[in-house]
Amino acid sequence: MIYITGRRLSPGGSRPSHITHLRATNDDGSNPVLYTRQQMVDWIDGTDGSGQKGVAKVHNRYGVDPVVHTVHPSVGSPYVQSSPDNTTTDNLLSLPPC
């Protein structure tokens, strides 16, 4: 399992589908890595060649760690977003830029 700790948006972007890169760490906060959106989608879906699905979460200020899941729209590229919790915005968009 990893924790997403930062995100990068395309210029002018403001939605989860505009995330271009994600910074993640191991669950103990070590080994920060910068992933492209597609790398993260492939890792979570288990299509990255590892043979297993990955689990990514986001820490939030409410003490809930929402799971990050993939979205595969009928038009456009797949992307990631956090599962609903007690916030009104996607937790990934609340993260600092990286």
Residue 18 lies in a domain: yes
Residue 96 lies in a domain: no
Q: Where are the alpha helices (DSSP H) in the chain?
A: 37-45
Per the structure, the count of domains in the chain is 1
The reported pLDDT for the residue numbered 55 is 95
| Residue range 20-36, pLDDT digits in tens | 999 999 988 889 999 99
The residue behind tokens 């906060």 is 29
| Residue range 14-70, pLDDT digits in tens | 999 999 999 999 988 889 999 999 999 999 999 999 889 999 999 877 778 899 999
Residue 39 lies in a domain: yes
Residue 91 lies in a domain: no
Residue 10 lies in a domain: yes
Separation of alpha carbons 12 and 58, rounded Å: 23
- Structural domain range at position 39: 2-82
Residue 13 lies in a domain: yes
Residue 11 lies in a domain: yes
pTM of the predicted model as reported, rounded to 2 decimal places: 0.90
Separation of alpha carbons 67 and 56, rounded Å: 6
Residue 47 lies in a domain: yes
Q: What 3-state class would DSSP assign to 1?
A: coil
